[in-house]
Chains A and B, each alone.
Chain A
Amino acid sequence: MKRILPIIIFIGLFIFLTKSLYEPQTNIPSPLIGKPIPTFSLSELNSDTSLTNNDILGTISLINIWATWCVGCDQEHSFLVDLAANQTIDIPIIGINWKDRDDLALRWLSQRGDPYSIVLSDPIGKTAIDFGVYGAPETFLIDEQGVIHYKHFGPLNREIFASNFMPIIKDLRR
């Protein structure tokens, strides 16, 4: 027994290492899934009006964390513009401009199109931390009550949206 124990342990270790080699690295799962969005109070982009949770709830929507300095946001932007215009899916996109400047954000949007129903400014980043944001872009799917049903880290595109977001949206709308 003592003689074969080492090889048994080794075989277990070996199998495990082989499997882990081929597992794709996953992103950090969010503990906020199934919970309501954090309370916030942010000003709307380029204005003094301060908005809170109640101002954005009421319908199934996306919350998209973005910034002008973020390369991935640039990549996903045209998809977001298309999505916002899509009458069939009909889902509003709320933008949170993270660690950025209002003037830069406005210029960025005017150059690329504005898919957002509302844009909020989070220059300090405290609200983003409350959302558990660790890199832009990040996109949250919330329902009418503001409960988070899904979070995607990284740029969005048609395929990801169709496979990861649409099923949940359809479910919520039933």
Chain B
Amino acid sequence: MKKVCLILLLISTQVSSVEGNDELTSQERELYQHIIQEVRCLVCQNQSVGESNADLAKDLRTQIMEQVKKGGSEEDIKSYLLSRYGDFVLYEPSFKKSTYILWLSPILILLLILGWLRKIGIIGK
């Protein structure tokens, strides 16, 4: 699998070979570009679906393009993918119990810093 992906990495196209972006409005085009960068290619797992040249990536891009054209929002399309492939397929982890610590870590660290600064006497005199 890894060798296939390394080879596919070389080919690196990002374009759905079926359709171009002509008929999209600029908002739709931006939405499409935005989403394909955030979806993980499940075949070549170190690339987004936008970057990957794997067949599955092309199929997924086609699907996403169709949904964008039908007027789907980012949420709609992402939940479409989530319900089929699970959390792994999105580069942005969903906010749920098992990822609370992940998403709250910036705030936690900030609080830790403030607490420590107070302890060593730099603030709060």
Whether A and B touch directly in their complex, counting CB atoms under 8 A apart, is answered as yes
Do B63 and A126 touch (CB < 8 A)?
Answer: yes
- For residue B85, which residues in chain A have a CB less than 8 angstroms away from its CB? 28, 31, 132, 134
Chain A residues with CB under 8 Å of chain B are 28-32, 38, 99, 124-126, 128-132, 134-135
Task: Write the nearest CB–CB distance from A158 to chain B, whole angstroms.
Answer: 24
17 contacts across the A-B interface (CB closer than 8 A):
A28-B85, A28-B88, A31-B83, A32-B84, A38-B84, A124-B59, A125-B55, A126-B59, A126-B63, A129-B59, A129-B84, A131-B84, A132-B84, A132-B86, A134-B43, A135-B42, A135-B56
Chain B residues with CB under 8 Å of chain A are 42-43, 55-56, 59-60, 63, 82-86, 88-89
Chain B interface, >50% SS class: helix
- For residue A131, which residues in chain B have a CB less than 8 angstroms away from its CB? 84
Q: How far is the CA of A132 from the CA of B60 in the complex (A)?
A: 11
Please report the number of residue pairs spanning A and B whose Cβ atoms sit closer than 8 angstroms.
Answer: 39
- For residue A125, which residues in chain B have a CB less than 8 angstroms away from its CB? 55-56, 59
- For residue A129, which residues in chain B have a CB less than 8 angstroms away from its CB? 59-60, 63, 84
Do A130 and B84 touch (CB < 8 A)?
Answer: yes
- For residue A28, which residues in chain B have a CB less than 8 angstroms away from its CB? 42, 85-86, 88-89
